[in-house]
Structure 1
Amino acid sequence: MNYYSYPLPTYVEYPIIIVQDIILLLFVLHYNGKLKHALPYTAIFASGWYMLTLQKWILDLTMNLSTLISAASKLVQLRYLWQTKDSGQVSATTWGLAIYTCATRIYTTLVTTNDATVLIRFIVMLALNTWVLATVLYYRKTTKKTD
């Protein structure tokens, strides 16, 4: 699957994250007594994974779709924050870490591959994560201590 002749770590990150998610899902299904429901999902996952390796355009399409889905998710979260005007249980630290991760990925992409698609993805995610963090901080409720 080395379509672009990038360093191996560029390709290894996402499969490891996906496998971690699958293992977590299997544990959840096991402890909920629903492990038998995992078979259809396993078949879909295996066939999808196989299709990713068939054509370069499929890999490019999935990257673009993942950017679209991630952006849509953040916009939905922003809309909810604006509607409720309450950041409630949203962690500013988590969003700060997401911003740091995107900034780091932009740097490492520039240094290793300079891939425009990946750069656009992380620049968009950095902007949206920063927007969510600013919204969370704006709607954060301050509590006054009484002595």
Structure 2
Amino acid sequence: MLLSFVANWSVVLLCVGLKLPQILSVVRGGSAKGLSTYTGIAMIYCYSIGTVYGYVNDFPIKNYIEATLLLIQEIILFWLTCSIQGQRSLSTLIPAAGLYGVLMSALLSNIFPAFVLDALVFAVTPISAVGKMTQSFKIFKEGESGNLSATTWGLLAYGCLVRFCTSLFEVKSMILAFNYGLSLLQNGLVLAQIQYYKKWPRQKKRTF
């Protein structure tokens, strides 16, 4: 019980600033090189559904508050990435943010049938998988990890490990346990790529 308590709250405390190393890396470097906007969109979806699922089903707040904290930081990181890469204008982001707010309010109000939320939760796994595969492929394709933060991805892997255990043994939700287990493997892969390419970046071919 003590180990579970410490593990749970260590994740919550880490999530207060888990994405901060990545945000600072982008701000200080003035570049979002290495970051995938598609991965950002996928993570916003996953953290949003994680927050809604925990809230609507009256889970203990310690079991899903990190999803909410990560959601806030992911939105900030996504905005920074889009702004720096010049991929989205305010005229696009503001309406999208408004639509997102309406949908989140509706889901948190629990006005939809239960099967709707269950379907959204099942979709978390493939969306998260595709999002992180996109990030992994981007690193492999470019042959470098750019401004990706090993600290952030390492903490993400740790958080998934703890949440995999609590979902399996405390909440007893096989859906969440499977999602966190898969995320753990993918976060570990991206972390390994970051560490590898920081030490041995692929030499780009010269063009004449």
Compute the TM-score of the two structures, normalised by the length of structure 2. Answer: 0.51
The corresponding residue for 1:63 is 121
Identity %: 27
- How far apart are 1:50 and its partner, in Å? 1.7
- Describe the superposition over 1:60-82 as per-residue Cα deviations: whole angstroms up to 9, x where unpaired: 11112222222111101111111
Q: Does 1:122 align with 2:180?
A: yes
Partner AA of 1:50 in structure 2 = A
Instruction: Check the 8 A contact 2:157/2:188 in 1, yes or no.
Output: yes
In 1, the alpha carbon distance for the partners of 2:69 and 2:182 equals: 23
1:88, distance to aligned residue in structure 2 (A): 2.1
Aligned mates of 1:88, 1:43 — CA distance in 2? 32
- CA gap 1:127/1:38 in 2 versus in 1, 3 angstroms: same
- In the alignment, structure 2 segments of 5+ residues that lack a partner are 1-54, 81-89, 201-208
Aligned length: 133
Q: TM-score, normalised by structure 1?
A: 0.69
Alignment root-mean-square deviation, CA: 3.3
The alpha-carbon deviation at position 55 of structure 1 amounts to: 1.4
Larger Rg: 1
Would you say 1:108 and 2:166 are equivalent positions? yes
User: Residue 50 in 1 paired to residue 106 in 2?
Assistant: yes
1:83 is aligned to: 141
**Structure 2: how far apart are the matches of 1:126 and 1:61?**
22
Unaligned stretches of 5+ residues in structure 1: 29-33, 143-147
Q: CA deviation at 1:119?
A: 0.5
Name the SS of the counterpart of 1:140 in structure 2.
Answer: helix
